[in-house]
A and B are shown apart, each in its own frame.
Chain A
Amino acid sequence: MTNHLAAIIRSDGIILGESLASQHAIHEEFGGVVPGLAKTAHEENIDKVIQSALQNANMSIEDVDAIGVTVGPGLEICLRVGCYKGRELAMKYDKPFVGVHHLEAHILMARLPPEKHDESITKQLTGDGIQSSYRAMEFPFLALLVSGGHCQILKCLGIGKYTIVGGTLDDSLGEAFDKTARLLGLPVGGGGGPAIEALAKDGDPKSVTLPIPMQQRKDCDFSYAGLKTSVRLAAERICAERGVERPDELPHQDKANIAASFQHIAFRHVEIRLGRAMELVQREDGIRTLAVVGGVAANKELRRRLNALCSDRDTPWEMSVPPPRLCTDQGAMSAWAAVERLMVGSSDSAEDQEVFARYPFSVSYIDGS
């Protein structure tokens, strides 16, 4: 998704100011109807967003050192509005410009220094607190990117150097959550994912038998379309037992059991595919750190289980997850990705920057060299 949010981040990872809309970012990427999508196609909105971020940082555009903006993948019309504004500001105020890859921005959030400690650590490390190169996680690492639109495992070797280890063949994890929430008639305004997570707490994850997807394929890919159907069929069977017409009419406990069982199997699928990927990259590249990013990383049960997956290994892994609020914050993501790119001396020409609806890692500025 392409949302217009803005943030100002210092190179040591301190968020100086964000547009107000950032508070609602989670709704947009993780369920429900797309609110205000139309706004993103309008230019007047982007000025307001930038102004509100600057105001919150108590800064003016002249004070900013560089400008980063997402240039793909996404809806071209929306990307173009943001990109042209970024280009215009960079040229007008003569600032370095970075065209940010949306997926790289997701991944790099795992390296954002932790909010609480960064200043003291930073100062100890560098003495001036501003030019810190302290990161929550060093390359190389393995990343699990799970949101409504994305579901991938990537090997992250450095800024601009990523290899896809596995990805979904059909639906994403976030979409599976959202569609299960809709099936059960849960309010999805705040996102189908959080609704299922909350309901699952009341349920027994072993009560409804659901098949783990793709058991016979021993690779690192995902598939959630089949699970979606299995959940529907299971819900219909329970409806028949209870004598109700539709799953949304089921009693609370049945719904909670379905939600808990679905969540359990959905995460079991992650554990199996991710576990295999961890095995692979540890053997081949000596990697032993995991980043969990994207909207679904906000799910506490997923964090708990992946923490266990990391610590239960023969050689324990370290895990980094951005704070839930930042998992979907497009403004902070773009700004932080720009910081990361600039710190390794990578930037783009504002004048020539285009947008890319389709933007595979392989054809971006990222060439793996």
Chain B
Amino acid sequence: MSTSNEYFLNLRIPTPEDMEDIGGLLSVNSTSGDIILLDGDLGAGKTCFSRGFVRGRTGLPNERVTSPTFLLSNTYPITDEHDGGGGDTTTITTTTTTATTLIHHMDLYRLSGSEDDLAPLNLEHVFANGISLIEWPSRLRRKPLMRLDITLTISNSTIQTNDIDGDDDTKERFMKLVPYGDRWVERLKFLNSEGYFEDLIVDSSIKE
């Protein structure tokens, strides 16, 4: 058992915009092999978080990030330009390679959880070569060792009235983040120490 699960962060997420912001924040510098498992009830904000993550990481602020529930998997390409060395690149004489990584936004809700049912998703390949955002991870037979677990819950506080448009749920959400593996532990510690979670933090086991 990894000791890293002794770390956790509990955040209070007042609005859907804040949920997207947190998604964007956690997307910074994410690379292939990164896995985030998103747990929580229907409407808890899993797709909202994913929207912020995808928009942040692709740099496309208006990218449509729609529900993967029926299609099971939606992918979003990101193209990072890697400076091939040579330090300060004011000219393009140095080799600049572009590598495309895919963000896989998946929802396992409609799957039974049998090994067979998961096969078409090619998870082993996806986990190793892409950035994975997985909704309803309880369907997974085995969870990857290195990952970030996020659990979203809808606050039980009084039901507030809807806004003018009437289609916003105004209850706040709670988000629990549990990192597995050094990479995620270090990233959460870093973001925490830089004060990114300041206004949102409820409690945490992470000491600086």
Contacts and interface: CB of A to CB of B under 8 A. Distances in A.
Whether chains A and B associate is: yes
Interface of A: 1, 29, 32-34, 37-38, 40-41, 73-78, 147-149, 167-172, 174-175, 178-179, 182-183, 211-216, 223, 225-230, 232-233, 236-237, 357-358
B75 A358 contact: yes
A357 B64 contact: no
B73 A75 contact: yes
B77 interface: yes
Given A34-B110, A169-B66, A230-B167, A41 B120 contact: yes
B122 interface: yes
Given A40-B120, A41-B119, A170-B47, A34 B166 contact: no
A32 B166 CA distance: 29
A172 B120 contact: no
Contacts of B110: 32-34
A182 B41 CA distance: 12
A171 B165 contact: no
5 contacts: A1-B71, A1-B72, A223-B167, A226-B169, A230-B162
Contacts of B111: 33-34, 37
A188 to B, nearest CB: 10
* Pairs A-B, 5 closest by C-beta atoms: A211-B166, A226-B167, A148-B70, A38-B116, A149-B70
A215 B165 contact: yes
Nearest to A81: B120
Nearest to A358: B75
Contacts of B112: 33
B117 interface: yes
B127 to A, nearest CB: 15
B165 A216 contact: yes
B119 to A, nearest CB: 5
Given A225-B47, A226-B168, A227-B167, A171 B162 contact: no
B72 A75 contact: yes
A129 B115 CA distance: 49
B117 A175 contact: no
A183 to B, nearest CB: 8
A179 B120 contact: no
A149 to B, nearest CB: 4
A357 B75 contact: yes
Contacts of A74: 71
Given A29-B70, A211-B166, A225-B67, 7 more contacts: A1-B72, A33-B110, A168-B64, A225-B47, A228-B42, A236-B159, A357-B73
B42 A232 contact: yes
Residue of B70, B73, B77, B114 with most partner-chain A CB within 10 A: B70
A185 B180 CA distance: 36
B165 A170 contact: no
Interface in B108-137: 110-112, 114, 116-117, 119-122
B32 interface: no
Contacts of B114: 38
A233 B120 CA distance: 35
B70 A213 contact: no
B61 interface: no
Contacts of A223: 167
A211 B162 contact: yes
A211 B165 contact: yes
Contacts of A149: 70-71
Contacts of B121: 75, 77
Given A37-B111, A211-B162, A77 B120 contact: yes
Nearest to B118: A38
A319 to B, nearest CB: 25
Nearest to A164: B64
A77 B119 contact: yes
Given A168-B66, A179-B42, A76 B122 contact: yes
